[in-house]
Amino acid sequence: MTNFDYIIVGSGINGLVAGAMLSRANKKVLIVERSGSFGGCMSTEEITLPGFKHDIMAATFVLFITSPAYSELAGDL
């Protein structure tokens, strides 16, 4: 059995940033997600017709790229 220092439920942007920051602090992190993809509302999906992809909640992207977390993690993205 693997032991983790932190288990994060949900792979939205907040869960991913928390996981990245904890990992940088040499913590063992597990992120679990119930859906088939990571990113939460910051994801691309086919929601209208096959082949037509949409950025779900794309307006929230600017909130992340202007955040202190992005400044710290941008080189790894």
pLDDT tens, position by position, 47-77: 899 999 988 887 778 888 899 999 999 888 7
Is residue 52, in this structure, part of any structural domain at all?
yes
Predicted TM-score of the model (pTM): 0.80
The answer to whether residue 16 scores a pLDDT higher than 90 is yes
29 sits in which H/E element: strand 29-32
In the prediction, which pLDDT does 57 show? 80
Is residue 45, in this structure, part of any structural domain at all?
yes
Structural domain count of the chain: 1
Task: State the DSSP code for 60.
Answer: G
Is residue 1, in this structure, part of any structural domain at all?
no
In the prediction, which pLDDT does 60 show? 79
Q: Which residues contact residue 16 at a Cβ distance below 8 angstroms, ignoring those fewer than 6 apart?
A: 31, 38, 39
Is residue 37, in this structure, part of any structural domain at all?
yes
Name the residue range of residue 17's domain: 6-76
Is residue 36, in this structure, part of any structural domain at all?
yes
Give bridge partners of residue 6 from the DSSP assignment.
29
Is residue 46, in this structure, part of any structural domain at all?
yes
In the prediction, which pLDDT does 17 show? 93
Measured in whole angstroms, the distance separating CA 21 from the mean position of its chain's CA atoms is 12
Q: Which residues contact residue 63 at a Cβ distance below 8 angstroms, ignoring those fewer than 6 apart?
A: none
In the prediction, which pLDDT does 39 show? 85
